Structure 1
Amino acid sequence: MQTISANGYAVFFGEKEYDSLNHFIIQNKYSNLFILVDSNTNEHCLLRFLSFLTTDKNIEIIEIEAGENEKNINTCVEIWTILTDLGADRKTLLINIGGGVITDIGGFVASTFKRGIDFINIPTTLLAMVDASIGGKNGVDLGNLKNQIGVINSPKLVLVDSEYLATLPQNEMRSGLAEMLKHGLIYDAGYWSQFKDLNQVDFADLDSLIHRSIAIKNEIVMQDPTENGIRKALNFGHTLGHAIESYFLENPEKKPLLHGEAIAVGMILESHLSWQKGLLQENDYYEIKSVINHVFEPVIFEEKDLKPILNLLIHDKKNEYGKIQFTLLDGIGKTKINQEIDNEMITASFFDYKN
C-alpha cells in the first residue's frame, strides 16, 4: 500500500512498515520512549506492537482507562505528571497506541508537555485509522462538550496496521464506517457508490478502502490545515452529531453513543437540511438515509430531547459571531460550508428521522 505524504509527516501502511518506524526512531536519536495505551489496547494490541519494535532506548508504558469519559484535562494532568516523574525531556518520543481517545489526548499531551515533544500515532480502531489519527487535531472534552480544548499539531508519523482491527467488536467497526461514508458524501461520489449496496462491498479489500478514506481526508487537510475554509467540509454530520453525542453522554436516562453512531444520525439530519435548502435532490437524500440506516440501528429521540440538543449547538467550534454554521451537501460528493440553519428546519429534520 503506497505511503501517503501528509502535512509534515507520512502515513505508512502494513506490517512491513514497522521497519520505517524503527528507522525513524533511530534516526531521530530520542532519549527515551513512552507508550500511551488504554486498558483495551494494553490487553489486545501492545504485545503485537512491541514484537515489531527494535530499540535500545528505555521504554515506559502509560495506561489510562478506556472510554470517552477519560478524554479530559484531569487525565492530561495525570499523564504530564507521570512523564515528569519518569524523566521525560524534550527529546522524549510519545507513541499513542489506540483509538480516537488515545490519539486525541496523546497528541494534546505531547504538544503541550515542555512546549512540545514528538509523537507518533498507531491507530487500532477503524475510526482512528480513517479519521482521528490523521490531520493533526488533538484535544480533550470540556465536561460533556466535545473537543473544546486542543491544538492543531501533526504527528511525526502514523502507521496503519489493519491487523489490529481483528480485536474490535462489530459496533466499533461500524463506528469507523460512518467516517468512511462521510468521506464519500463530501468529496468522492464514486467512493460513496462503493458502499451503496453494502451486501456487495468486498471487505476483504478493506485495506484499499481505508487507504482511500485517509487519502480523501488528507487531500482536504493539505488544502486548509487550520480549518479556515475547505477543511470545514469534514464537519458534515458533526454539528448535530456532536450535540447528540454530548447529550447522550451527559443524560443518565440515555445510553451513550459511540462517535460514529452519533455522526451517522448527524449525517442523515444534515442531509435532510441539505434537501430543505435545495442543495440535495430528494432521491439522493433518501438514498443516504437508506444506506446509513442499513448499517446503524435507529436512535430513539423523545420530544423533550430536542431543546437540550439545540442548546448544545451554540458550543459548536464552527460557529462565528454567535451564529451556528453547518456544512451541508451540495449534491453527493460536494459541500457548501458556513450554512446558517434555523431551528424550524432542524426540528423538521428530526421529525423526518423519527418517521
Structure 2
Amino acid sequence: MKTIQAVTYPVHFQNKAYQELSNLIETNNYSTLFILVDENTLEHCYPKFIPNLETDKRIELIEIESGEINKNLETCVGVWNAITELGGDRKSLMITLGGGVITDLGGFVASCFKRGIDFINIPTTLLSMVDASVGGKTGVDLGVLKNQIGLFANPEMVIVDTDYLTTVSKREIKSGTAEILKYGITYDLKLFKEIKNSKELDINKLIHRSVSIKNEVVLQDPKEQGLRKILNFGHTLGHAIESFYLESEDKENLTHGEAIAIGMVCECFMSSKLLGFPSEKVSEVKEVVLSIYNKTNLLKEDFSAIMEMLKHDKKNVNGQVNFVLLNDYEDYKIDCKVPEELIIESMEFYNS
C-alpha cells in the first residue's frame, strides 16, 4: 500500500514501514527508545514488532493497564516517572504500540515530557489504525469525560501493519468499523455501500481509504475550525453514551465503536427532523448498524444522565451542544443546535 503523506509525517504501511522506522531512528540518533504497551499488546504485539526493529539503541519497555478507564492523568504521571527513572532525555523516542488508548495517551505523554520528545504511533487495533493514531490529536479523559485534557501534536511517523489485527477480538474489529462507516456516510459513500453490500471486506483497502480521508480532512483543517468537525459525526451523542456506560457500575461498558454507532443512528434521525435528511436513508443507516452491532437497550430512566454527559462535550461553546448533522450522504452541516426533546426522541427511535 502506498505511503500517505500527512502534514509533517508519513503514514507507512506493512513491511516497508519497518525499514523506514530503522532509517528514522538512525538519522535522528535517538538516545533511548521507550516502547509503551499494555498487558495485551505486550503479550500479543510486542513479539511481532521487536524482530522488525533494527537498532542498537537502548530499548526500554513501559507497560500500563489496558482500557479506557486507565486513560487518565494518573497513568500519565506513572509513565512520566518511569521515563525519568529510566534516564529519558530530550533525545528519547516514544513508540506507542497499541490501540487508541495507547496512541492517545502516549502521544500526550511524549508531547509534554521535557516540553516534547518525538513519538511514533504503531496502532494495533482497527479503530486506532483508521482514526486515533492519525491526525495529531493526543489526550486523556477527565474522569469519564472523554478527551478533555490534550493537545494537537504530530508524530514523526505512523506505521500501519494489518498483521496486528490477528491479535484483537471480533468485537474490537467491529468497534473500528464504526469509524469507517462514519467516513462513508459523511465523505465517501462508496465506503458505506461496500460495508453494506460486501460479505467479504477488503480490510487493507478500507483502512488505506479511511486514512486517506482523515488525512485529506486534517490537511485542510488541522485544528478543527470547520471541515474537520465532520469527523465528529455520531460522536457528540455517542461520546455521552460511552461515558455514561463507563461510569455505570451496573452496566457493561460499550466499546467506542458501539457507542458511536448508536450516535450515528440518532444523529441521522435528528438530521431527518431538522434538515430533511431522507427518512429511507435513516432506516438504511440503522439497518446497517444493527446488522453489525448487538442492539443496546437505552433505558428511558437513563436518558437524563446521558443528557447531563452531553453538557460536558468538549465541542460545546457557551453551554451550547454542537452536532454535525446531514442534509444527505456526503452533505453535512456543522455546529447544529438540537432541542433536548429531539435528542431524547432520537434515542427512542434507536430503541424502536
Distance in 2 between the 1:16 and 1:157 partners? 13
How far, CA to CA, are the matches of 2:287 and 2:253 in structure 1? 23
State the alpha-carbon separation in 2 of the partners of residues 279 and 40 from structure 1. 45
Aligned-residue offset at 1:322: 1.3
2:261 aligns with 264
> How large is the Cα RMSD of the aligned pairs?
0.8
In structure 2, what is the equivalent of residue 50 of structure 1?
50
Aligned partner of 1:187 in structure 2 is 187
**1:1-355 paired onto structure 2 within 5 Å:** 1-197=1-197, 200-203=198-201, 205-355=202-352
Q: Any conservation in 2 of the 1:194–1:201 contact (CA below 8 Å)? A: no
Structure 2-normalised TM-score? 0.99
Gaps of 5+ in 1: none
Maintained 8 Å contact 1:38/1:102:
yes
Amino acid at match of 1:95: I
Q: Aligned partners of 2:16, 2:156: CA distance in 1, in Å?
A: 18
Per the TM alignment, residue 273 of structure 1 is displaced from its structure 2 partner at its CA by 0.5
Alignment length, in residue pairs?
A: 352
Describe the SS at the equivalent of 1:316: coil
- How far off its partner does 1:351 sit? 1.2
Counterpart AA for 1:287: E
Distance, in Å, in 2 between the alignment partners of 1:96 and 1:50 is 13
Say whether the 8 Å CA contact 1:124–1:164 is kept in structure 2: yes
Q: Secondary structure at the match of 2:95?
A: strand
Report % sequence identity: 52
How far apart, CA to CA, are the structure 2 residues paired with 1:108 and 1:201?
38
Shift of 1:201: 4.1
Runs (4+) off by over 6 Å: none
Q: How far apart, in 1, do the equivalents of 2:153 and 2:241 lie?
A: 27
TM-score, scaled to structure 1: 0.98
User: What is the rounded CA distance, in whole Å, between the counterparts of 2:248 and 2:219 in structure 1?
Assistant: 37
Answer yes or no: is the 8 Å Cα contact 1:242–1:263 preserved in 2. yes
Letter in 2 for 1:202: E
Unpaired runs of at least 5, structure 2: none
